[in-house]
Amino acid sequence: MNSRTVEIWVGVFVALGIAALFMLAMQASNLASISRGDGYILTAGFENVGGLKVRSPVTVSGVRVGRVEAINYDYNTFEAVVSLRINDDHDGFPEDTSASIYTSGLLGEQYVALEPGGSLENLTDGDRVQLTQSALVMEQIIGQFLYSVSADKDEE
């Protein structure tokens, strides 16, 4: 085989390989959503974060606007502090925005849902979301249910 054919085939091979890497990076991963600026950070304190994990989605009305950056425990307030990284093109949440931890589907992963309030002032980088609602823990719900059932029986 002459060297021209070899070179062409090697060129095809390398181009295919690079195209595959490019496809994996652009099409299959979250590169496209990261590259739109690094976003800004909001924090929120929760009594219980349940099964929330780093990289869990942050949504507003079901639209994904960011992800969970870090989850820490604050020994001053005795609650979990969740840092949310919000994409730059979703700035302008009112100051009285509330954050709740919900579960998508019955067995799905947990996510943070933001609900905008009515304030005229906006949250900016590093601000803390004041109104929060913790994750629902199955044991607590069952516990409350059993408690209310037994309370009903006592009344009878």
Phi, psi of 25 (to 5 degrees): -70, -45
Among residues 8 and 142, whose Cβ is nearest to another protein?
8
Instruction: Quote the least distance from Cβ 73 to another protein, whole Å.
Output: 18
- Is the CB of residue 140 less than 8 Å from the CB of residue 107? no
Contacts of 79 (CB under 8 A, 6+ apart): 45, 46, 47, 73
Instruction: Quote the least distance from Cβ 39 to another protein, whole Å.
Output: 15
Among residues 12 and 141, whose Cβ is nearest to another protein?
12
- Is the CB of residue 41 less than 8 Å from the CB of residue 126? yes
Kindly list the residues in this chain that would bind another protein in the complex (CB under 8 A): 3, 6-7, 9-10, 12-14, 16-21, 23-25, 27-34, 55, 57, 64, 105, 107-108
Instruction: Quote the least distance from Cβ 37 to another protein, whole Å.
Output: 16
